[in-house]
Structure 1
Amino acid sequence: MKTKDTTANGRRSFLRNAGVYGLSAIAVPSFMATFLAGCKKDFLDREPLDQISDESFWKTPQQLELAVNGVYAFLKAKNTVDMENLGDNTIYPPSSDYQAISSGNYDFTRGTLNSEWVGHYNGIRRCNHFLENYEKAQGVTDVKMKQYAGEVRFMRAHMYTYLVFLFGDVPLITKTLIIGDTEIYGPRTKRTEVVDFILKELDEAATGLPTTYAAADLGRITKGAAFAWKARVALFFEKWSVAETASKAVMDLNLYQLYTAGGTATCYNDLFTYKGKVSNGTNKETILVRRYLIDVYLHNLSRECQVPDQTSRFCPTKALVDSYLCSDGLPIDKSPLYSEATYADIFKNRDPRMKQTILSPGAAWGGRDDGDANADTNANFNTPKWDADKKGCITGTGFYFTKYVEISIVGAVTKDANDIHHIRLAEVLLTYAEAKFEQGTLTQTDIDNTINKLRDRVGMKRMVIAELTAAGLDLRTEIRRERRVELAFEGQRYYDILRWKQGSLLAQDVKGMKKSLVESFNQQFVNTIPTDANGYFVVNTGRRFDVNKNYLWPVPFSQKQQNPNLGQNPNW
């Protein structure tokens, strides 16, 4: 990385202090033990990249691999799931940046806005730097060169994707900026132009990426990942034919299969536990993953879902619970199978994915004492806990997640190594179906080859267009419901709400279970929780969504201070 200050001290000072477009110090990330099966430890112990000159670094195959691996540090990790709290599927009742953004009660000074902006531009700078220098290395095959460039181009497109999803127009920077470059204080690039760049980058990346890797390189970006990410971007911006073509390209690779190990009763849930880790060999569904390794690189998701002495960080909302169909394929307001006479009844006769996503009575859990009359620690969940006695996991809505929860880890009071799944075949199938529908070309055969494969996986009644029509159900609504249910708690819901222009859903009160279903001996702990006219807990209120501003985040205050030419999004 070059600057116009040629002194070592001046150069390092600039890298430490500059904050625009990723002009900050970047050290070799320690997590890359996940990917560096072929790198030597003594090389990792040397100076970080921001203290090595370009003249001394870009020479060997090992250096080039290290540089590529460093880019993977910017692949979103558990934060992918954390951002589920931006939508209407989950809530963490205490105040947080995500809750403020979700509720529309925030301004451009929120720290999360700037951390997303700076984090992605840090990664983009790393990518630009690599692409400017990688061809200097000697002794690297042409195939490997194209692979490395493909991985880095994908990552650059990946980070620009989040920027345009959230901020709209953003500066399109494709070179390593140095002091004096006019781009540092330039205006934002139109969103449409950045999207075109992203799609082109993914096409170019795909040409050099392999379809598979050896076991030592599991988790690296593949050709299928480039196609699948392109489909996601195209779907967001209503480029239906592009989304259809890209998702079909993934399907035509014939490499990916829905995870079915363990059978219909558990396979969907197992995919998100240690059983579904890509290193196990049985998971052929996941296309892009952030791998975690036991005792090397861990997160805390399992415990945050069922934290044994506090409030769960992810509480499923009534809106999510109600979205699951009954086992006859009808919504709860139309099906004769649905009952809410007891808490346990809510889970009966429902889409099997509901119990494999949301904790149901009788299921194993790690939250210690639950809300039943027993004072001892429970291995199985019976009823939600409301007593803040620090003896068990409290819920803010009456519901808990079991998806992404490794029960043994919660009980062991330690961090876990569940893989975080960025893209899997299920999403690609849903994208293909939605893109076909929006073009008016969706057939029953298409549904059988996409949505019904997801339903068959768990033993759910198949979707039949004629039956939906007879029941007075809207096909678009049901396709969108399928996406919500299948991808719940995977960080997708907020972006779907934005692209479907359903921001009004975020303005609604967040609700939980019916108060009357709380056992009598627990009523004392819920007396102060407000309810709506029908007796459901109101967990969060005072929410708003301005259609003239809230479909985009504002340009962060600190970025505006550094570069007034960025302007601001409408009505911010």
Structure 2
Amino acid sequence: MKNIKIILSLLFAALVLQACNDDFLDRGPLDAISDANFWQNEEQLLLAVNGTYAYIKGKNTVDMENMADNTVWPTQTNYRMISSGNYNNDLGTLNTEWTEAYAGIRRCNHFLENYEKAEMTDDALKNRYAGEVRFIRAYLYSYLTFLFGDVPHVTEALNVGDPEVYGERDSREEIVEWILAELTAVAEVLPESYSSSDYGRITKGTALGWKSRVALFYQKFDVAEAAAQEVMDLGVYQLYPDYYELFVSESDASKFPSNRETMFTRIYTTDISMHNLSREIQVPDQSARWNPTKSLVDTYLCEDGRTIQQSPLYDESSYDSLFEHRDPRMKMTILSPGSPWGGREDGNPDNTDNSVFTAPKFNQNRQGSVTPTGYYFSKYCDLDAVPTYNRDENDIIIMRYAEILLNYAEAKLEQGSLTQEDLDNTINLLRERVNMHPMIISELQEWGMDLREEIRRERRVELVLEGQRYFDILRWKRGDLLARDVKGIKKEFIIRQEDVESVPTDEQGYLIFLSGNAFDDSKHYLWPIPLAQRDLNPNLSQNPNW
């Protein structure tokens, strides 16, 4: 099978290079493997490069969606606590993100301090390897600055006893400038593509695309536009024709070169490296782990391009009617009645065909997938992987060409230079793929719809479950969206009313699954520096109001 070689190499490298301890402030020495004996040839260098790939987020990219308002986890988790605003600096996830990032950064630094020792006849290949590692280091620093703001900027492989281990935090702004410069530099030495056996390695387009994402987060709109334009001008990427199919294993770009939309992915392979996302989406004997919110469902426009509040096509007379005459991506993302179903028994006692979904289930009898909101996802759910735990080989997409088009349109808008032609070359390509009404500036004005809100809506709809919503909310300064109650369908649509007798509703009769959420503008746009790290290093200052 394609890519088994690179995955096995990555796993082996992760074991070989365990000299790098997972804790940034509590590391062991490197003498478990002698530098003098290891950095000798191309084979060893490749092992070291692959060891750094282990720190790229996989399913955790999707897990981070639970921090925002697209989906809700049915039980209390660290990510749900972050979403609700009810957490403090001792929350485990904060320290995990910090330590994992710095463990990866240290491994990258260790590579970059030693790679030139290897005897290789191909200097271009050696420089490419260094470019891949420099990208991964910049990628890890991106998340650290997104989440924590100022952080220690370490570009050397520190050991216990080095004074820099107990250094202060460095300026977020300075680190961001360094990240952008690194991404610019590595794009010059990375290839546009690889052979199928090396698929998944960092490319020129990956570096430029990530540069666009980072620049957009920090409102460097001219930089974001230019980087997105460079990706578009490469001519390497194009939209995959089927939006739904893009997220199931049958269309993974690691297996099928016809998928030219995926730009940056974490590869999973049967019996080698797998995850549990599909089963968590439609788990057949417990509560679904991923539950679309009413907020997300209401975001989808009607097929005429108008909101559900405006369009005469919108019909909320029944559960089934909610899905009709909507943006086609709604049915491709959120499970609709009549769709293939992996959750076995559903909420309609008259349904005898467990392979087809008819109604949401609320009774906890361990015979089918239960939802607290009345909705389930279908995006990213490979039904073959639902019955058995941790047997999902869907690749996890970290970045794809659709995002580049969205980045370009938003960057142009924020600079006041967005035209209808720009929309036709970006957002309307996404809509054309699913036969959705195009975004037309003059129509939006006529209908009283705000262009900025519609571009943001498009991003939410297109990228749902891809781990970006929380970061979009942060950069748009829309924390108020996280302070709202998490709601579901109208209670009257539920067939077995006895299952929801105790569930509260709002004035319109919609289920209220979660209330008491909060977002404090003075503190919640940054995570607190983890308590464990400040205990280890008293020189680490804390973010405001934590």
With structure 1 as the length reference, what TM-score do the two structures score?
0.91
1:290 aligns with 2:266: yes
Q: Which amino acid aligns with 1:270?
A: E
Distance 1:400 1:494 in 2: 20
Match of 1:74 in 2: 55
Match of 2:527 in 1: 553
Which residue, out of 184, 195, 203, partners 1:222?
203
Contact 1:288 1:421 in 2 (8 A): yes
Match of 2:132 in 1: 151
> Quick one: structure 1 residues 413 and 143, their matched pair in 2 at CA, closer, same or farther if it must change by over 3 Å?
same
Match of 1:130 in 2: 111
Aligned CA RMSD, in angstroms, stands at 1.6
Q: Deviations over 1:120-145 (max 9, x none)?
A: 00000000000000000002411101
Q: Which amino acid aligns with 2:51?
A: G
Distance 1:207 1:369 in 2: 54
Q: Deviations over 1:473-498 (max 9, x none)?
A: 00000000000000001000000000
Match of 1:451 in 2: 427
Shift of 1:518: 0.9
Contact 1:368 1:411 in 2 (8 A): no
Which residue, out of 15, 26, 35, partners 2:6?
35
Shift of 1:183: 1.3
Deviates more, 1:370-379 or 1:243-252: 370-379
Distance 2:14 2:209 in 1: 33
Match of 1:382 in 2: 358
Distance 1:510 1:426 in 2: 28
Contact 2:276 2:389 in 1 (8 A): no
Contact 1:93 1:540 in 2 (8 A): no
> Quick one: structure 1 residues 299 and 38, their matched pair in 2 at CA, closer, same or farther if it must change by over 3 Å?
closer
Contact 1:370 1:377 in 2 (8 A): no
Contact 1:34 1:293 in 2 (8 A): no
SS of 2:458's partner is helix
Distance 1:253 1:471 in 2: 37
Which residue, out of 73, 97, 104, partners 2:85?
104
Match of 1:242 in 2: 223
Shift of 1:204: 1.5
SS of 2:429's partner is helix
Match of 2:486 in 1: 510
Contact 1:61 1:140 in 2 (8 A): no
Contact 2:7 2:272 in 1 (8 A): no
Structure 2 counterparts to residues 272-351 of structure 1, below 5 A: 272-278=247-253, 279-351=255-327
Distance 1:190 1:540 in 2: 37
Identity %: 55
Match of 2:27 in 1: none
Distance 1:240 1:570 in 2: 27
> Quick one: structure 1 residues 357 and 349, their matched pair in 2 at CA, closer, same or farther if it must change by over 3 Å?
same
> Quick one: structure 1 residues 357 and 125, their matched pair in 2 at CA, closer, same or farther if it must change by over 3 Å?
same
SS of 1:564's partner is coil
Aligned residues: 532
Structure 1 residue ranges, 4+ long, deviating more than 6 angstroms after superposition: 37-41, 43-47
> Quick one: structure 1 residues 453 and 127, their matched pair in 2 at CA, closer, same or farther if it must change by over 3 Å?
same
Distance 1:515 1:374 in 2: 19
Match of 1:562 in 2: 536
1:115 aligns with 2:96: yes
> Quick one: structure 1 residues 549 and 320, their matched pair in 2 at CA, closer, same or farther if it must change by over 3 Å?
same
Q: Deviations over 1:24-71 (max 9, x none)?
A: xxxxxxxx9551578998x99978555211011000110000000010
Q: Deviations over 1:238-296 (max 9, x none)?
A: 00000000000000000001001xxxxxx111000012201212210000000111121
Distance 1:311 1:327 in 2: 31
Match of 1:6 in 2: none
Distance 2:362 2:258 in 1: 39
Structure 2 counterparts to residues 337-416 of structure 1, below 5 A: 337-374=313-350, 376=352, 378-412=354-388, 415-416=391-392
Deviates more, 1:370-379 or 1:75-84: 370-379
Contact 1:92 1:396 in 2 (8 A): no
Where do 5+ consecutive residues of structure 1 fail to align?
1-31, 261-266
SS of 1:421's partner is strand
SS of 2:54's partner is helix
Q: Which amino acid aligns with 2:536?
A: Q
Match of 2:243 in 1: 268
Distance 1:502 1:45 in 2: 42
Distance 1:487 1:47 in 2: 35
Shift of 1:207: 1.3
1:486 aligns with 2:462: yes
Q: Deviations over 1:101-153 (max 9, x none)?
A: 11110000000000000000000000000000000000241110111011000
Match of 1:251 in 2: 232
> Quick one: structure 1 residues 47 and 233, their matched pair in 2 at CA, closer, same or farther if it must change by over 3 Å?
closer
Shift of 1:377: 5.5
Contact 1:114 1:559 in 2 (8 A): yes
Shift of 1:180: 2.8
Distance 1:69 1:249 in 2: 27
1:498 aligns with 2:474: yes
Contact 2:293 2:375 in 1 (8 A): yes
Contact 2:120 2:126 in 1 (8 A): no
Match of 1:467 in 2: 443
Contact 1:314 1:401 in 2 (8 A): yes
Match of 1:418 in 2: 394
Contact 2:10 2:53 in 1 (8 A): no
Match of 1:7 in 2: none
Distance 2:153 2:531 in 1: 19
SS of 2:391's partner is coil
